[in-house]
Amino acid sequence: MNLYSVCLKQNLRFAGQTAIVWALVLAAAMLAVSNYMIETSLCLLLVYPITPLEQGISFDFTNKRYRFYTRFAGITGGQWDALPDIVRVVLKYYAYGTTTTTKVGQVVNKKHAGYILLLSVRDSAQGIVVQEYDLQKRREAVEKAALLAQYLQVEVADYSQG
């Protein structure tokens, strides 16, 4: 497998991605060939807010590169960078608390916890964050870590308290 993509954050406000892309194409075509500029503009304004936005990371293992991408309406953008020397795939448990005060003065304490999947770079204190997972998705995190380690031919360091 040449390309491997991991969706970091996906904001799908509407399930029919293909339908939305075709609606945008149709609206643009209508704008180009008709005099219905107001109607076409309204169509575009209605379709735009429900168009999915996806952000993630892609790997091209053959050419040893990666990129953080953004995909909108079927168009993907993001600059490819050389993949540094990865020494291991790390899966870590994290937890932290936050305290906020509402407008009416009520103090709200929240605990945030989950798993983070990252690539450990040789001779570097910083790694490449691949994805964060909720506590309920530990199995998926472990599977993705194993798959990445297989492609990169490195070990998995599992610190997920599991």
Query: Where on the phi/psi map is residue 2: left (φ > 0), alpha (ψ -120 to 50), or beta?
Result: alpha
- Check: CB of residue 56 under 8 Å from CB of residue 9: yes
pLDDT digits (tens, 9 = 90+) for 111-130: 889 999 999 999 998 999 99
| pLDDT digit string (tens) for the chain, length 162 residues | 344 444 333 333 334 455 556 666 666 666 666 666 666 666 666 666 556 677 888 888 888 888 888 877 667 788 899 999 999 999 999 998 988 888 888 888 888 899 999 999 999 989 999 988 989 999 999 999 999 999 899 999 999 875
- Check: CB of residue 55 under 8 Å from CB of residue 8: yes
Name, in order, each residue with C-beta under 8 angstroms of 144's C-beta and a sequence gap of 6 or more.
6, 117, 130, 131
User: What single letter denotes the amino acid at residue 158?
Assistant: D
Q: What's the DSSP call for residue 136?
A: G
Give the whole-angstrom CA distance, residue 88 versus residue 91: 10
Give the whole-angstrom CA distance, residue 94 versus residue 44: 42
Name, in order, each residue with C-beta under 8 angstroms of 62's C-beta and a sequence gap of 6 or more.
2
The whole-number pLDDT of residue 93 equals 93
pLDDT digits (tens, 9 = 90+) for 122-156: 999 899 999 889 899 999 999 999 999 998 999 99
Query: Where on the phi/psi map is residue 150: left (φ > 0), alpha (ψ -120 to 50), or beta?
Result: alpha
3-state DSSP assignment of residue 34: coil
Domain extents for the chain? 3-82, 86-159
Output the pTM of the full model: 0.63
DSSP string, 67-125: EEEEEETTEEE---EE---EEEEEEEEEEEEEEEE-TTS-EEEEEEEEEEEEEEETT-S
